[in-house]
Each structure stands twice: as C-alpha cells, then as structure tokens.
Structure 1
Amino acid sequence: MDEPGVLWLPSNNYFPGREKHNVRWLIIHGTAGFNSAQEVGEFFQRTDVSTHYTIGRDGVIVQSVREHDAAWGNGYVSEGHDPWWSKGLNPNYVTISIEHVKPSRDNSDALTTIQTEVSFRLVKNICERHEIPRRRADATGGITGHYSMDPVGRHFCPGPYPWEELFSYLAR
C-alpha cells in the first residue's frame, strides 16, 4: 500500500502505469450512498469503477488502486468544466482520487470529525508524495472536487467538504 495503515481491497479497475503521465491533481469525491469504506472497496471489486482511496465515517481508509496506477473514478470531462481539463486526455491519468463515505444519495452528509481529520492527513501525504500543489486547483495542479471536471453529472460531488479548513491545515 502507498499509505501506511490502510486496508487493502484491490480493484481490477485501473489503467496500469498512467500511460507515463504525472499526477498533478487530487480529486475529492463523495460516495452518494454506502455505509462504510469496506463496502465501497468491495463494490469497486465487482463493478467497472474505482478510486484510489475511500475514507469511512469511522476514519477507516481503504485503498483500492495503487497511486502509480490510474483509477477509474473520474469518468469524463463534461461541458462547463474548469478550463484546465481537456476532453483529449482522460483525467484519471493525471489525478489521484479520494472517496468519502456519505450515506445520502445526494452527498448532503457533512464529514464526521474523524473522517475530516483522516482526510486532511491523507491529502497532505499524497500531495507530498506526488508534489501536488497544496492549494485550490488550477492549470498547474492542486486539489478540487469531482464537480470540477463534470459539473453536469457530478455537480453534487463531493457535497459538503471543509475546503477552507483543509487549505488552512495544508498551509501549516
């Protein structure tokens, strides 16, 4: 595993090696259903979707795809996307994705306190490993939500997320 202490539930849904692209962005997701990170990890083993990590409401982290591979979590780039995304490049090749378990189908659940703490640490560690800018995303990289590349189909993803607190934490 890439992050110490995570539960490894591997998915076969990934692109090996990222086609030699470098990671530049970290994408925050909400699960829009499910009750645990383990349940999401098992789902990723049965269906044609995956993210690198899932953080449960209890703080458990499941890793489903190694960071040197591209998970299948970001789908495609839709109309109205942030200007740095290209429809000519699969965004999965240049991103690492973290799901956050949110039982509500509309992602309206706030993160739990432990989920927030674990998320912030994981984001920081991934940014350090891949030299991802520890700030809001722009054309050179950074951190954003799934809505950034698919404001049509994923406008509600990740739902409520403590962005300002994250960036304050990362600035320390």
Structure 2
Amino acid sequence: MQDLPDIIEAPSPNFDERQLPVSIIVLHYTGMQDAESAIARLRDPEAKVSSHYVVAEDGTILRLVDEEKRAWHAGRSYWRGTTDINSASVGIEIVNPGHEFGYSPFPDEQIASVIQLVHAIKQRHAVTRGNIVGHSDIAPARKQDPGELFPWGKLARLRLALPRPTRGLIDPGWTDGGFLMALNRFGYDVGDQQAAVVAFQRRFRPELVDGMIDAESRMILLALLLPRPQGDD
C-alpha cells in the first residue's frame, strides 16, 4: 500500500458532535457538474451538508471535517441496525458528475487515492469490510452513488470491501419475501423493497441492475451471509 498523499485542509462549518464511535465508511460521488461546485456546496453553511473528505479526479484529497466530528453526508439512512449513520461513519465524497450530469468511470489516480484513504481510515477505526459501503447501500430509496461504475473489486482485492462472491454459489430457492428478509439481515433497509434490491445489485452485480429477484441475486446474497464469501476479488 502506497503512502497516503498529502491532504489539503479545506474546513467546512457543517459538522457537530458524534454520538457513536466510527464503525462505517461511506463512499459517495459528488453528483455535481464540477469539483469546484461540489466543494463549495460542502463548505456552504446554508447547504447544511458536508463530508470528511473529498477526492478529486487527479487524486488530490481535501479534508473538510475532522474525523472526530460528525459530518453531514448520510442523511436519512440505515445500515445493520444503525440509523444515525452520520455519527457512526466517515464520509468520503468522490468527484464525479453522477447519473444526473454524465456519469463516467472514475480515473485511476482518483481510485488510487480513495484506496489509500479508505485503508488509513479502516486501520484507524478498525472498520470491518462489511461496513465499507456506498451511499446507495445505506439509503437505497434515495441514492444511487457511487454507482455501478465504481470499482469495488479493486478495493475488495485489498480487503477494503467485501468481494463479489463467484465460487461455490448455490441457489437457496428463497421466495421473494425470504430474499428480502435475508437482505435485511445482511444490512439493508428493505422498507422500499424494489429500491433495496436495486441497491444490492448495483453493489454486487453492477452489470445487470434490474431490480428482479433472480437466482443469481439469491446465490450472491446467500454467499455473502456465510462466514467467508469466496470471490475472485
């Protein structure tokens, strides 16, 4: 693992005090037309949003909020029983126009910095791989980021995210209701059932995000619920 690049301080006033220890890392895309607009909004007291870090396309890392403080990046969200995700997480905004403004692949230099940053935060707070998630995982009814183009496999190969299971897959034959129960057990809020399935597929089967509960989705989810999911990543 390479050394973490120098971090540029760009303080945001949008934070308050944590109520929980850090146990989650949430990855976002900025979803705005350019980096300058996104950074300005994250530092605007009127916007009432922020993140701990922003990673630019060239790999530059900005720190907006100290990790000891509660940044305002997750909104109404849920993961594995936690509802105050802002208190329990470190939020990383990755500069990308997102689905609204011409979603595009993430540059290698940017992902290299994301990997180094996630590694450092994971080590600092002993975050488990299963708690390194996307915004769409914690808020499936509202969010799509970082989206199906985000290279989760690169993080998984470094044990910085769960791998996509690819070996020893077995279809448990769950009903749709059984699948949703298992999805909730894994960590997702399934209040909006369709959105939860889409979010799961966006994360673990990005080549086909159709919201259909099929055999492949059941097999992947079952493998993820086992102690050691086996994947190529």
TM bucket, shorter chain: 0.7 to 0.9
The CA deviation at 1:105 is 4.3
The CA deviation at 1:167 is 1.2
Change (3 A) 1:33 1:50: same
| Whole-Å separation in 2 of the counterparts to 1:130 and 1:122 | 12
1:5-154 residue pairs with structure 2 within 5 A? 5-16=6-17, 18-19=18-19, 21-36=20-35, 39-46=37-44, 47-77=47-77, 82=79, 84-86=80-82, 89-106=83-100, 108-133=103-128, 135=129, 137=130, 142-154=131-143
The CA deviation at 1:39 is 4.2
Indicate whether 1:170 and 2:159 are aligned: yes
| Whole-Å separation in 1 of the counterparts to 2:65 and 2:9 | 9
**TM-score in terms of structure 2 length:** 0.61
Structure 1 runs (4+) greater than 6 angstroms displaced: none
Aligned residue for 2:62, secondary structure, equals: strand
Aligned residues: 153
Residue ranges of structure 2 left out of the alignment (5+ in a row): 161-233
Matched to 1:60, the amino acid is T
The structure having more radius of gyration, on CA atoms, is 2
Aligned residue for 2:114, secondary structure, equals: helix
Task: Assess if the C-alpha contact under 8 Å between 1:76 and 1:150 holds in 2.
Answer: yes
Change (3 A) 1:150 1:96: same
Q: Which has the higher helix share?
A: 2
Matched to 2:124, the amino acid is R
| Whole-Å separation in 2 of the counterparts to 1:73 and 1:32 | 13
Show the counterpart of 1:157: 145
Higher relative contact order (CA 8 A, sep 6+): 1
Residue ranges of structure 1 left out of the alignment (5+ in a row): none
RMSD: 1.9
Structure 1 residues 71-124: Cα deviation after superposition (integer angstroms, max 9, x where no partner): 0000002xxx55x144xx421000001111012443732110100111101000
| Whole-Å separation in 2 of the counterparts to 1:69 and 1:12 | 11
Aligned residue for 2:26, secondary structure, equals: strand
Identical pairs, percent? 27
| Whole-Å separation in 2 of the counterparts to 1:152 and 1:93 | 21
Change (3 A) 1:158 1:85: farther
